[in-house]
Structure 1
Amino acid sequence: MKGKVRESLPNMTFKVLLENGVYVLAYLSGKLRMRNIRVYPGDDVVIELTSYDLSKARIVYRER
């Protein structure tokens, strides 16, 4: 699912606006942290939603 980062929060978490207009709280995946990939407000990202809590997600890719 695609979205746009709207706000940066502490501990590498972000507020992301999805394509359908819903805000979710997202964190960086481990591979993005290991490779020091930076995510800034305004970046387009690909996220994975959890099946348990649809208000939380993981950022798996930052589009260029």
Structure 2
Amino acid sequence: MITAAAGELLHRAQQAGTVRPGVHTEDLLAFVNAISLATEHHDDDVQANRLLDIAIDGIRLPR
């Protein structure tokens, strides 16, 4: 279910021109997993939010 939902959201974002073509659902899920693992022992969300911002900037189409 998570993969299907993420895939639909990604498809819509790509159709809207806000996400690069060539990004796959599995890429997004890997980002989320990696950020979660990298920050699981932190008491605050500062690093997780920063890493998420970097990942999002990386998949967006340049304006």
Larger strand proportion of the pair:
1
> Which structure's residues are more often helix, by fraction?
2
TM over 0.5: no
TM-score, with length taken from structure 1: 0.23
Larger radius of gyration: 2
